[in-house]
Amino acid sequence: MKIRLILIVCLVVLPLAIVCNFPPSARGADEQAVRDADAAWSKAAGSKDIDKTVAFYADDAVVMPPNAERATTKEAIRKIWKDLLTDAKVSWKATKVEVAKSGDIAFISGTYEVTMNDVVTGKPVNDRGKYLEVWEKQTDGSWKCGADIWNSDIPLTSATSDKK
């Protein structure tokens, strides 16, 4: 009887001991790290720091701005941000952050706001929209943006409707 009781206790306690010895998931820490990096990135762009803004991209990043060609080099990415930050106020905020179970990739979706001067009238124009970023964990444990795309929530006015 004692052997049976010891066997039952071992069968119950052993799996619990194994499960409890696994380290806690790092996904929560990674999620916060990505969220913090995105907030710091928005702050850098808001302060018009082009070097710091571009530094958040991975070396092989692709950036897909609205109504423009995609950028796949640091020089092309720098040009996009230089053109945007020269005459605009930019900010964004993450609304969803998710880290893959593998722990080496994450995505962020959120909303952005841009205020810039119209090239024709010179008057301020406000834009708002959404964005999606794919982040890659680097070998040093830091996170860099590997893909970045954004587009406006404001409908374009068509040339034909302007003629009517």
Span 77-132, pLDDT tens digits: 999 999 999 989 999 999 999 999 999 999 999 999 999 988 888 899 999 999 99
Distance of alpha carbon 74 from alpha carbon 84, whole angstroms:
15
End-to-end CA distance of the chain: 94
Start-end of H helices in 21-98: 27-46, 50-55, 74-86
Residue 70 · residue 57 · CB < 8 Å: no
- Whether the full predicted model's pTM is greater than 0.95, yes or no, is no
Q: Which domains does the chain have, with CATH numbers?
A: 25-155 (3.10.450.50)
Q: CA-CA distance, 81 to 101, in Å (whole number)?
A: 32
